[in-house]
Chains A and B, each alone.
Chain A
Amino acid sequence: MSKELLRMENITKIYSNGFMANKDVSLTVHEGEIHALLGENGAGKTTLMKILFGLEDYQEGRILIRGEEVRIANPLDAIAKGVGMVHQHFMLMEGLTVAENIVLGIEPGKAGVFDKETAVKMTLEAAEKYNLPVVPNALVRDISVGVKQKVELLKALIRGVRLLVLDEPTAVLTPQETRELFVQLRDLRSRGYGIIFISHKLDEVMEICDNVTVLRRGRVVGTGRIADLDEKKLSSMIVGREVVKTVDREAPRRGDLVLEVRNLSYVDDIGKIHVNDLTFAVHAGEVVGIAGIEGNGQTELSEVITGLRPATKGDVMINGQSIKGRNIDQIRKLGVAHISEDRLVYGCAPDLSVWDNIASIYLSSKKFARGPFLSKRELNKFVDECIEEFEIATESRNTPVRLLSGGNIQKVIVAREFTSGANLIVANQPTRGIDVGTASLIHKLLYKYTREKNVAVLLISSDLNELLNHSDRLLVMRKGRFNAHFTDLSRVTDELLGEYMLGVRSMTEEEMGNVL
């Protein structure tokens, strides 16, 4: 038996609003172990890790590192005690180089003069030692998410941490990048590092983890060795019942043209081309997926279609009407709903309540209104229905959204957009960070809406399983252009898709066929 690295004992955490987010939670991690921490949205995973990383205090319990009781005051203290954390949203300085980011806070140099050469040398040494290749002088803003993650890992490792917490690390990676990450994690494991791995993707958990702790409503509801479990057992441990994942998909009955994009280009203020002369269409009743590595123009495309950014060239028609000269409200009224990828910037107002966040799209419409007044009673009922249907874990409709867990914030956004009555849903990463139970609910709804209500869906995602299982057609986007179009998804593998995403392969116009 290898040595114990971390022991959290009977941790109880009550937030300042009286919410008990962890109750008697215990967790043990040994050297050379990858430990999965699983649970539904709002189960308390991030809370527990924030406690470990010194970002939140706790009321009861104790933390032992290598058998010694410690009190972790803040993240710097955590790092000093050997605990590092890679947050789901990277915490890097975009304008600095890789090397500068890695040594930030422990900069080499004398008398406040930054010694760039040593920084580069330190970076290269660490990269070599941990087998995490990076280019020290590249600007962080120019590197891919996969590389950013390596930088985050190096940043923690160079500070000498022995226990790494990874909060949903694979949510934004391509299969190739995920595979690479797993090679590196296995390498760290063999060197005796301990790793806590949070994820909603159970296949990955099965692949890489050794042991698992499952939380539900703040309590530990199960622990075990991964070798003794399978995906099905895991998911029933998580949600407390069995999850039926696959929907039998009938072929879509394509209806009218709902979204038509013609020769669309988008160039930003500094002249960078994000969307390059794209033409495609989405019909009523079908889900068109867009795959691509993050940063290849998918987000800009969705933001032009929904009016958040102006088109530089070309046009977008929604239900036969051009969006030219229309503001966002008018575009929404043409029948558009939009799940933004940037959930905290565009998707919600964190300080406002769940109610406010769902009501926001009805403030210029006749629905829920009596002249200038809002019909509070109807809205209350509507919001309560949303909370129930989408299983949003919240104290009440008046709870500020910032107090919800990451996945539950996403549910609020999805609930608002899905129930808006639009017939075009532009869904950018709709299930990112959402637990298995709710993700399958959202997928079922997507299916139901397209098949029964003739809704058209443009689904943008970095989760290839999601794209392959829930799209009717699939486009691959790279550098602002399409380089593949699949109409029969049954033969498409993750691998193949990854190669198109990376640009190793690309289709000719003829091969792509009719994208309209």
Chain B
Amino acid sequence: MKKVQRVDMLFEFLRVFLGLIIAYAITVVFVMIASKGSMADAVRNFAIGPFVNARRFGQLMGKFIPYVLMGCGFCFIYSAGRFSLIGEGIVNFAPIITCLVMFKTNLLVGLPLWLNLTIMVALCAIIGAIVATVPAFIREKLGQSEMVLSIIMNFMLLFLSLWVLKQFLLDRSISMQATKMYPANMKFYSLVGTTNFHSGIYVAAIGWVIALILYNYTKIGQKIKTVGANPQFALYSGINAIAAPFIAQMIGGAFAGAAAAVDAFGLYPRYQYTALTNIGFDGLLVAVIARKKPAYIPIAAFVLAYIRTSAVVLNLSTNIPVEFVNMMQAIIIFFVAAEHFLSKSRQKVIFRLARNKEQEAHS
């Protein structure tokens, strides 16, 4: 049945690809109706906008990097059958605490860049894991909804982060609400010119490998999958059905923390989040597109980063309203994530394969 697997992969790819094409087709139609400027321009901006110059490609990569980490984290939470959205709040919270260490202590001063970055990412991951224990505790020990609590907590974390910022870290010399500039040995550096494509990519790569190993090759990864698939069966098999999802949520929190670190210290010169970033929700989408398999996360993260960047480009370079751009995104995501799209044709190919195999066996 190797062939069937190949067919499956082909159709996975086709689904993403055709999803994009269909979305473009719809764009063309709408652009014809809505746009006053050149239609060709609009379509081009949307389709290849992210690739036309280094700066835009950098933008894409700048989104891609945290998406990979956040997506990996969600694979664990989601595989355990949980829906903690706490990653969203961690993006705001973990870096601001790290900024306290950065600006209010001497611990990082004078250390080499690589060491500082390692410490900062690790610190954010630890904070993320700790924060994630709150909804996990509520769910596993008290039986309440981790989803509701995590959404409420996201806002609490946002306001707490803003309070810390204003109280301790505000740079009063500028008009915006932000910290001072990060010291040169405490931030990721750009890999291509001055674009957003920064050295956080290494963190994403390492994080991905860790996620792959954790998910596929360790006992805890296997426990998480088993509990998520059937908690009663897990219990019967002797698996601790409380500990495994708890740990899954902590792993998710740690990855969210790492995603926060690469975003906050990679894309911006100073801490300047004043609202939720949406990276948490996007991470969930990435995990859904990747069918909660860490192996597919980089592709899924790239597709989403691409769509998001296209939308920005389109929005900036044409007079098409932003609501419309958002709608385009929704359509693409729908096609990419929808399981039934193309399933009929896939069926047909597989039937033909089965019949051929049958004939071979008989001749």
A363 touches B236 (CB 8 A): no
Candidate in B220, B225, B233, B238 with the most chain A CB atoms within 10 angstroms? B238
A363 touches B222 (CB 8 A): yes
A351 touches B229 (CB 8 A): yes
In the docked arrangement, what's the CA distance between A350 and B240, Å? 19
Judge whether A329 is part of the interface by a CB distance below 8 angstroms. yes
The residue in chain B whose Cβ has the minimal distance to the Cβ of A361 is: B237
User: Residue-by-residue, is A305-337 near B (CB-CB < 8 Å gives 1, otherwise 0)?
Assistant: 010100000000000000000011111110000
B219 touches A14 (CB 8 A): no
In the docked arrangement, what's the CA distance between A16 and B237, Å? 30
CB distance from A18 to the nearest CB of B (A): 4
In the docked arrangement, what's the CA distance between A356 and B234, Å? 11
B238 touches A329 (CB 8 A): yes
CB distance from B117 to the nearest CB of A (A): 26
CB distance from B10 to the nearest CB of A (A): 14
**A11-47: which have CB < 8 Å to B?**
14, 16-20, 23
Given A349-B226, A363-B219, A374-B219, A16:B347 Cβ within 8 A:
yes
B4 touches A350 (CB 8 A): no
B1 touches A363 (CB 8 A): no
Question: Which among B218, B229, B350, B355 is the interface contact of A349 at CB below 8 angstroms?
Answer: B229
List the A side residues contacting B238 at CB < 8 Å.
Answer: 327-333, 361, 363-364
User: Residue-by-residue, is A55-67 near B (CB-CB < 8 Å gives 1, otherwise 0)?
Assistant: 0000100000000
Given A328-B236, A376-B217, A363:B4 Cβ within 8 A:
no
A59 touches B351 (CB 8 A): yes
**A202-254: which have CB < 8 Å to B?**
none
Question: Which among A17, A363, A373 is the interface contact of B239 at CB below 8 angstroms?
Answer: A363
List the A side residues contacting B223 at CB < 8 Å.
Answer: 363
CB distance from B50 to the nearest CB of A (A): 35
The residue in chain A whose Cβ has the minimal distance to the Cβ of B237 is: A360
Question: Which among A20, A330, A345, A372 is the interface contact of B232 at CB below 8 angstroms?
Answer: A345
Candidate in B225, B226, B233, B358 with the most chain A CB atoms within 10 angstroms? B233
Given A349-B226, A363-B222, A395-B1, A14:B236 Cβ within 8 A:
no
List the A side residues contacting B225 at CB < 8 Å.
Answer: 352, 356
Question: Which among A16, A18, A349, A359 is the interface contact of B230 at CB below 8 angstroms?
Answer: A349
The residue in chain A whose Cβ has the minimal distance to the Cβ of B229 is: A349
**B285-310: which have CB < 8 Å to A?**
none
B219 touches A18 (CB 8 A): no
In the docked arrangement, what's the CA distance between A263 and B1, Å? 54
CB distance from A165 to the nearest CB of B (A): 26
Given A23-B358, A328-B238, A360-B226, A345:B4 Cβ within 8 A:
no
Report the count of interface residues on B (CB-CB < 8 A). Answer: 31
B233 touches A360 (CB 8 A): yes
CB distance from B42 to the nearest CB of A (A): 39
Judge whether A419 is part of the interface by a CB distance below 8 angstroms. no
Judge whether A296 is part of the interface by a CB distance below 8 angstroms. no
The residue in chain A whose Cβ has the minimal distance to the Cβ of B2 is: A396
**A373-411: which have CB < 8 Å to B?**
373-374, 376, 395-396
Judge whether A90 is part of the interface by a CB distance below 8 angstroms. no
A356 touches B217 (CB 8 A): no
In the docked arrangement, what's the CA distance between A146 and B4, Å? 44
Judge whether A346 is part of the interface by a CB distance below 8 angstroms. yes
Judge whether A340 is part of the interface by a CB distance below 8 angstroms. yes
Question: Which among B230, B343, B355 is the interface contact of A350 at CB below 8 angstroms?
Answer: B230
Judge whether A347 is part of the interface by a CB distance below 8 angstroms. yes
Judge whether B235 is part of the interface by a CB distance below 8 angstroms. yes
User: Residue-by-residue, is B91-126 near A (CB-CB < 8 Å gives 1, otherwise 0)?
Assistant: 000000000000000000000000000000000000
A18 touches B233 (CB 8 A): no
List the B side residues contacting A340 at CB < 8 Å.
Answer: 236
In the docked arrangement, what's the CA distance between A23 and B4, Å? 19
CB distance from B148 to the nearest CB of A (A): 26
B236 touches A374 (CB 8 A): no
Question: Which among B217, B234, B236 is the interface contact of A373 at CB below 8 angstroms?
Answer: B217
In the docked arrangement, what's the CA distance between A16 and B11, Å? 13
CB distance from B348 to the nearest CB of A (A): 10
In the docked arrangement, what's the CA distance between A308 and B347, Å? 42
A329 touches B240 (CB 8 A): yes
A360 touches B219 (CB 8 A): no
Judge whether A348 is part of the interface by a CB distance below 8 angstroms. yes
A364 touches B235 (CB 8 A): no
Judge whether A126 is part of the interface by a CB distance below 8 angstroms. no
Judge whether A369 is part of the interface by a CB distance below 8 angstroms. yes
**B31-88: which have CB < 8 Å to A?**
none
List the B side residues contacting A19 at CB < 8 Å.
Answer: 354
Judge whether B320 is part of the interface by a CB distance below 8 angstroms. no
Given A20-B358, A23-B358, A327-B240, A374:B218 Cβ within 8 A:
yes
Judge whether B353 is part of the interface by a CB distance below 8 angstroms. yes
B229 touches A18 (CB 8 A): no
In the docked arrangement, what's the CA distance between A14 and B354, Å? 8
B350 touches A374 (CB 8 A): no
In the docked arrangement, what's the CA distance between A42 and B350, Å? 20
In the docked arrangement, what's the CA distance between A333 and B237, Å? 11
CB distance from A428 to the nearest CB of B (A): 12
Given A349-B230, A363-B223, A374-B222, A18:B350 Cβ within 8 A:
yes
Given A23-B358, A364-B238, A372-B220, A348:B350 Cβ within 8 A:
no
A14 touches B217 (CB 8 A): no
List the B side residues contacting A18 at CB < 8 Å.
Answer: 1, 3-4, 350-351, 353-354, 357
Question: Which among B218, B343, B354 is the interface contact of A372 at CB below 8 angstroms?
Answer: B218
List the B side residues contacting A376 at CB < 8 Å.
Answer: 217
CB distance from B237 to the nearest CB of A (A): 4
Judge whether A338 is part of the interface by a CB distance below 8 angstroms. yes
B4 touches A17 (CB 8 A): yes
In the docked arrangement, what's the CA distance between A396 and B5, Å? 12
A360 touches B358 (CB 8 A): no
B235 touches A328 (CB 8 A): yes
CB distance from A364 to the nearest CB of B (A): 6
List the A side residues contacting B234 at CB < 8 Å.
Answer: 349, 360
Candidate in B219, B220, B239 with the most chain A CB atoms within 10 angstroms? B219
A14 touches B351 (CB 8 A): yes
List the B side residues contacting A17 at CB < 8 Å.
Answer: 1, 4, 350
In the docked arrangement, what's the CA distance between A490 and B277, Å? 76
The residue in chain B whose Cβ has the minimal distance to the Cβ of A352 is: B229
Given A16-B347, A16-B350, A348-B230, A338:B222 Cβ within 8 A:
no
The residue in chain B whose Cβ has the minimal distance to the Cβ of A364 is: B238
A356 touches B353 (CB 8 A): no
The residue in chain B whose Cβ has the minimal distance to the Cβ of A379 is: B222
The residue in chain A whose Cβ has the minimal distance to the Cβ of B350 is: A18
In the docked arrangement, what's the CA distance between A340 and B235, Å? 12
In the docked arrangement, what's the CA distance between A340 and B233, Å? 10
List the B side residues contacting A372 at CB < 8 Å.
Answer: 218-220
List the A side residues contacting B226 at CB < 8 Å.
Answer: 349, 352, 356, 360, 363
CB distance from A411 to the nearest CB of B (A): 16
The residue in chain A whose Cβ has the minimal distance to the Cβ of B347 is: A16
List the B side residues contacting A330 at CB < 8 Å.
Answer: 238
CB distance from B349 to the nearest CB of A (A): 9
User: Residue-by-residue, is B338-360 near A (CB-CB < 8 Å gives 1, otherwise 0)?
Assistant: 00000100010011011101100
Q: List 16 A-B contacts (CB under 8 A).
A: A16-B343, A17-B4, A17-B350, A18-B3, A18-B350, A18-B354, A328-B235, A340-B236, A345-B232, A346-B236, A356-B222, A356-B225, A360-B222, A360-B233, A363-B226, A374-B218
The residues of B with any CB-CB pair to A shorter than 8 Å are: 1, 3-4, 217-220, 222-223, 225-226, 229-230, 232-240, 343, 347, 350-351, 353-355, 357-358
The residues of A with any CB-CB pair to B shorter than 8 Å are: 14, 16-20, 23, 59, 306, 308, 327-333, 338, 340, 345-352, 356, 359-361, 363-364, 369, 372-374, 376, 395-396
Q: A363-B222, A363-B223 are in contact. List 11 more A-B contacts (CB 8 A).
A: A16-B343, A327-B240, A329-B238, A332-B238, A338-B236, A345-B233, A349-B230, A349-B234, A364-B238, A373-B219, A395-B1
